[in-house]
Amino acid sequence: MARLASSARHGSRVMAFWLAVMLVTLLDQATKAAVRQLLQVEGATREFIPHVMELRLSYNTGAAFSIGRGAGLIFIALAIIVLALMAVFVWRTPDAPLSLAISMGCVAGGGLGNMIDRIISGAVTDFFCTTFIDFAIFNVADIFVTCGLAVTFILLARFDASPSKREHA
């Protein structure tokens, strides 16, 4: 009976991971499509949060802060590898917390959202631009990757340090 309950929890974690991947990817792609429709021309802007942020349509062929311009195939391969590794981790670690599966799903969904852009248009659509400081232009996928990685590292550290993990070592 306990094994059945454990199997159900494992299935829930796997499903939560893939649900997070799909929701983040859909949210990312929907916001990018809306901004492309709204602004239409690269460099066009629209006030979003007065004195804090504007929407500015930008196409990035690199990664964060435009590092690695023109290395789209490498970023596509990296996104596929990260997605696969996270999916395997969630599948093969049935005692991982649900929150860890969800945070990994957010990272993977963000990576998948940007990967879709690279495959379809050869560049990632960015549009959030801070106006109170000079900072990189970013998108919804970038937010989920960045925040998701921070949460994932914290949860992994807590999970690896948990008493039940130390007992099995």
Q: How far apart are CA 101 and CA 141, in angstroms?
A: 17
Q: How far apart are CA 115 and CA 122, in angstroms?
A: 9
126 belongs to the catalytic site: yes
Q: Which of 95, 117, 134, 142 is catalytic?
A: 142
Q: How far apart are CA 76 and CA 117, in angstroms?
A: 10
Q: Which of 28, 95, 117, 126 is catalytic?
A: 126
Q: Which residues contact 65 (CB under 8 A, 6 or more apart)?
A: 136
Q: Which two tokens stand for residue 28?
A: 């990312």
142 belongs to the catalytic site: yes
Active site residues: 126, 142
